[in-house]
A = this chain, B = another copy of it.
């Protein structure tokens, strides 16, 4: 049968190779995200200590513009890069709210 996965459940080597690459990229993404949340946790603590508000619209606008430019250069949809940042920032805010509740 002309399918990536045979009746025996064996996967075509080309598809398997692509999936292995995706898995490698995903492992790298997870570890970078873990590191990113360590940094944003420290930012949250810094801001709490110095009486700064959690949100900083000027900084966020800079981040969006920078990520859109990086995405464009890497041939990634800039709209997706912006949505991605919003997705991450949403989680950061959730963490910062948790810090406030804990403290």
Contacts and interface: CB of A to CB of B under 8 A. Distances in A.
Nearest to A70: B30
A26 B67 contact: yes
Given A18-B46, A30-B81, A4 B52 contact: yes
A12 B50 contact: yes
This chain: copies in complex: 2
B31 A29 contact: no
A22 interface: yes
Given A22-B40, A39-B21, A43-B15, A31 B63 contact: no
Interface centre among A30, A31, A80, A84, by most chain B C-beta atoms within 10 angstroms, is A30
Interface string A16-60: 001101110111111111111101101100110011100000010
